[in-house]
Amino acid sequence: MNRKDKKRQSDIRDSKSAIWGGRFTSGPAQIMEQINSSVGFDQRLYNQDIAASKAHSSMLTDQKIISKKVGSAISDGLDTIQKEIENGTFEFSNALEDIHMNIESRLSELIGDGAGRLHTARSRNDQVATDFRLWVRDAIDITDAALMRLQEILISRAEEHSDTIMPGYTHLQTAQPVTLGHHLLAYVEMIGRDRGRAKDCRGRLNECPLGSGALAGTSFPIDRVKTAFLLGFDNPMANSMDGVSDRDFALEYLSFASIVGIHLSRLSEELVIWSNPSFGFVSLPDTFSTGSSMLPQKRNPDAAELVRAKTGRIIGALNSLLIVMKGLPLTYSKDMQEDKEPVFDTADTLELCLYTMATMLSEIKFNPAPMMEAAINGNSNAIDLADWLVKALGKPFREAHLITGSLVKIAEDRECKLEELSLKDMQAVDNEITEDVFRVLKLEISINSRNSFGGTAPANVRVACGVARSKYL
């Protein structure tokens, strides 16, 4: 740090009016500075803070609250600061507390007294609320793009495996045969709902707090519609007290992110299970596996496990902010400084998890043979026998269910598959059963018969992939 910057920080600490004005006769204790300062993390808001300050300055100029000359100097100074931050030459000071005061202080060094006019009709309360909304809005857009990429990969893999037969599970027990393509498309729909939640969240947060002041608005003739328009908001927030105190948008973002995390965790869990040699449904690429320091044969699904684990981190962030906000009276309290770190961490974690999952799924190898074997060995065609008894013999479903269960028990006792029972074995349970039953017990027939809307039939899957591409991509 050069002499000028050291003097700057010394002046900040010694001056009783650097931030808080003449109310205080001394600066904060060192430990107070440490707990109070947020610039270590909220410097991530610099782009949004500069954009909001430019919009505010432009409005003040148009409203003749500040001169055009001052407005132009402010804009040029903010451009310089942005370049300094981006090229790493900007010196952040903990003594200046946050990104807002760091930028304002540097602006004062660059343009002099004109910098002090920027804060006319503005408080740090509405300033930070505006910056944070802008940041979360950008984060939602980044997340939505990552979700769409994941959908695209899932749809492509579903098209590739529209005919691949695997067991479908309930209670992690073999239930019915399904296609892998159908299974993967289930996650496409989950992510579609996630993107809907992102859109809703973005729409609700897209109101501008700037101009709310500390809490009660301002006596200056400001134009809040103009600043909202310049920053891409739909409109200014209707109530100044709500404008500075609301953090619903951050909670909603964390809630949406938690649900995305849950979906990623469920898919991760399946990849962990499927990669186990006892299943062998997938072979993980070397790029997303690790070995053992002791056991040379091991291929560990660490990437999937870490995505699964990081969901807990995201849910924890939501819980953290819920607890911070639950007892706060109107309007702003310093507690709300704790809103940013969980949101920043969640955005970083979610982006990493989405990128990891998308890349891993694009490289993963699905193994149709063990999938088919598992579907056959699990008597997943039992429901087809029951359905045949209803359709061909006119049995009530409950009776058909009982007959089928009895035949499954016989097959289990003989350690054979349902379709390996003889016609005589079947007729011993119900003498109306005919040779035609063996046709419906073929898994390919079973799969193709599930052609109701939303069903697993390969023809359905191929159509569904096309619909999903049109709907989501």
Q: Which of 10, 15, 292, 333 is catalytic?
A: 292
**What is the chain's alpha carbon radius of gyration, rounded to the nearest angstrom?**
31
H or E stretch including 73?
Answer: helix 68-86
Annotation marks residue 182 as catalytic: no
Annotation marks residue 292 as catalytic: yes
Tokens of 364: 């993963």
Amino acid at 282: V
Tokens of 190: 């989950």
Amino acid at 271: L
Q: Residues near 369 by Cβ (< 8 Å), separated by ≥ 6? A: none
CA atoms within 13 A on the CB side of 13: 14
Tokens of 411: 């097959």
Q: Which of 171, 219, 293, 470 is catalytic?
A: 171
Task: Quote the CA–CA distance of 425 and 232 in Å, as a whole number.
Answer: 73
Q: Residues near 99 by Cβ (< 8 Å), separated by ≥ 6? A: 38, 39, 42, 43, 44, 45, 46, 49, 131
User: Are the beta carbons of 196 and 224 closer than 8 angstroms?
Assistant: no
Token match 């432009």: residue? 58
Closest to 95 (Cα-Cα) out of 183, 198, 159, 1 = 1
Residues with active-site annotation? 171, 292
